[in-house]
Structure 1
């Protein structure tokens, strides 16, 4: 298979993939919160990795800590996230999904994580990393065209 054949396949599958993800219904409990993609990434990390600090979230999301702090404040005011003191360092705040929001968020986002696990399962860790790196290079190439 040539690179052009692969590109053709990707150009056909990517819009279908994005379309399916966009059609996932937002649970009723979360609709009023007007969640944006940046919120979903943060919620996914907290769902997968558990409670994290703003600094940890910022590093994982590749955003400035001040940006993450603003998102956390917004979602905290809405009752989606909770902040608590870190027992080891009282100056730090630990961010987590609120108990009342966790079931709806898990119901909504867990199927996507499961689908990725299924898709990546046949690949070795090195192949999985190459896949992620390829998607990131694609993202950067598209971004460069926008600039």
Structure 2
């Protein structure tokens, strides 16, 4: 039975679960409705592309293996995604001057493409900024750990 505590003061575990089960579908639906910029519309981008592009935009160029670790997918899958986006002029790949066996991946220098990617991510980044700015560093870390735990447990693998 629900105790319906004031969410500004605290929530019981059951009330928090109820709130999140009602909220998450709305959040996902809103994210899915975020329109792609014109430059990116014909590219058939999936959520995994958003994560890949986010990593490159926020942290700069990196190797295929680093991207694979961050995306938690096989390097061959990342390589296929990178090849596809490279053919479409979104990403550039080049050999690592320090180790020619490694491939460095970066967002293209083409201004329209970079601006389109930044624009696509901007609304979500601003929403997170507004949500997180009211929290302490510890509260932000707790939130991120909580979402990671939820994602892991919801996957059914427990990994």
What corresponds to 1:74 in structure 2? 84
How far does the alpha carbon of each residue in 1:113-143 deviate from its partner, in whole angstroms, 9 at most, with x for none? 2322332223333332322221122222222
Out of 51, 58, 74, which is 2:68 matched to? 58
Structure 1 vs Structure 2 CA RMSD: 1.7
Secondary structure at the aligned position of 1:144 is classed as coil
1:120 aligns with 2:129: no
Secondary structure at the aligned position of 1:32 is classed as helix
In 1, the alpha carbon distance for the partners of 2:134 and 2:98 equals 40
Out of 36, 39, 44, which is 1:29 matched to? 39
Q: Which structure is higher in RCO with an 8 Å CA cutoff and minimum separation 6?
A: 1
1:91 aligns with 2:125: no
* 1:42 CA drift (Å): 0.1
Q: Which ranges of structure 2 fall in alignment gaps of 5 or more residues? A: 1-10
How far does the alpha carbon of each residue in 1:69-109 deviate from its partner, in whole angstroms, 9 at most, with x for none? 11111111111111122232233221011123211111111
Structure number with larger C-alpha Rg: 2
What corresponds to 1:103 in structure 2? 115
Q: Which ranges of structure 1 fall in alignment gaps of 5 or more residues? A: none
Give the TM-score of the pair, scaled to structure 1.
0.88
Give the TM-score of the pair, scaled to structure 2.
0.82
* 1:38 CA drift (Å): 1.0
